[in-house]
Amino acid sequence: MNLSASLLRRFAAAALGLLLVVCSARAQSLELRFLNVGQGDAAVIVTPEGKKVLVDAGPGGSPLLSYLRSHHYDTLDLVIASHGHSDHIGGMADALGATTVRYYLDNGIPHTTATYQRTMQAVEASGAQYLQATARTITVGSARLRVLPPPSRQVDQNNGSVGILLEFGEFRALLTGDSEQYELQYWLQHESIPQVTVVKVAHHGSPNGTTAAWIQATRPQVAVISVGAGNSYGHPSLRVIEQWQRAGARVYRTDRDGTVIIMAGRDGSYVVLNELTSPAPVAPTPAPSARESDSTPQPARACCRVCSRGKACGNSCISRAYRRGREPMSEREAFYTVDRIEGDITVLVGDDGIALDVPGDTLPLRVREGVVLRVRFTAGGQPDWSSAASDDAERERRLKEAGDRIARLRNTDPGGDVVL
Ligand SMILES: [Zn+2]
């Protein structure tokens, strides 16, 4: 054997050894991945046993679906919707339709948007076992998820977010949706909130999603902000970033770092990889510019076909024949629901599921979350916000439909802790 062949063989053996070490470390690790979905949240947990949990599904048109497909994730053991806002469940119906979902957990607080209705229809159609956000522990392989329930009788979606404390040996992470100061304080008073390794900063780094007491209790080494570049809401707040940094956390944000991946060991050790600034290869996600963002104003879609029955065809059409009481829904008007209010911006979701950011002072009336507006279109096919009028009967109808669906699902909850 000549010298170069011997060296080559030794190099190959060493490379194989390294690969085996990396693969075995990976096989014993838990992966916590904060996907870059633009302005919204979506996170995936993969246990060493290969069990998969999805926490939130990003806005409509987010790259979640292509992520699930490219990884051949055809079964999700547990799907959690932190709350019903469209930047968290916009991609949920598609995710539920594209995978087999074993368990589904949400906050049980009805919302009136078309996105929420479509999500809940998909939950029922999926056959997933529904779980309420009660104080329960869900064991997923060698990981444990402790559910932090929202305060009872909560109607506000953000302050009704489901909290999840993920425990994998000594490693802990906290994901709390868009919880605001009220709910964070509630948990500090009613739950035991431990020090954790990773915090998903609540409400996209908005000032109302962080408190000094919450930082003091959690004292994470890593704080991840899931946020879209150039969003209309001023997320994240620089002061919030500084607060977490001052407490010793390294702050990652999906708008700058891309998808953030944490590989955690049972001993509490971890590695952070990120799509845009790490040399390590991570799964490709489509460029943000190639997708619809629910924070980018979109022109209203023309009604694509006229239905003979019902309010909507598929998810994007308003029926010519739809009648509510004695007031017909004309072809030149549509419902828009107040999904949420972010400072000066009112986020309206049309019955086509597309979210639009509208400055609050554009509307002729003061609105709050969940209000359903009847809006006329201009001759150019754009929503004429000055025509917006509240339709309380339609709002009540949607709340009743959602309430009935939640009651049916609740009846199937086995209760107690769950082992997946
Ligand atoms: Zn949000």
Render pLDDT for 321-369 as a digit per residue (tens, 0 to 9). Answer: 344 444 567 778 999 999 999 999 999 999 999 999 999 899 999 999 9
| 178 CA → ligand 1 middle, Å | 5
pLDDT > 90 in the chain, percent: 79
310 has pLDDT over 80: no
Distance separating alpha carbons of residues 56 and 66, to the nearest angstrom: 15
291 has pLDDT over 90: no
pLDDT of residue 299: 34
| 343 CA → ligand 1 middle, Å | 13
pLDDT, mean of residues 9-15: 54
Ion ligand 1 residue ranges (Cβ < 5 Å) = 87, 178
Which of 98-102, 272-276, 281-285, 334-338 bottoms out in mean pLDDT, i.e. has the lowest?
Answer: 281-285
Q: What is the pTM of this model?
A: 0.84
Write the burial class of residue 255 (CB in 10 Å: 0-12 exposed, 13-18 middle, 19+ buried): buried
281 has pLDDT over 90: no
| 206 CA → ligand 1 middle, Å | 10
Which of 21-25, 30-34, 128-132, 395-399 bottoms out in mean pLDDT, i.e. has the lowest?
Answer: 21-25
pLDDT > 70 in the chain, percent: 81
| 203 CA → ligand 1 middle, Å | 5
| 37 CA → ligand 1 middle, Å | 11
Tokens 């924070």 belong to 295
Q: What b/e string do you get for 9-47 counting C-beta neighbours within 10 Å, with b at 16 or more?
A: eeeeeeeeeeeeeeeeeeeebbbbbbbbbbbbbbbbbbb
Contact at 8 Å (CB) between 57 and 90?
yes
| 195 CA → ligand 1 middle, Å | 24
pLDDT of residue 4: 54
| 61 CA → ligand 1 middle, Å | 15
What are the tokens at 139? 């064991």
pLDDT of residue 278: 67
279 has pLDDT over 80: no
C-alpha pair distances (Å), 191 with each of 93, 147, 164, 171, 188: 31, 10, 12, 19, 6
User: How would residue 314 be classed by pLDDT, with cut points 50, 70 and 90?
Assistant: very low
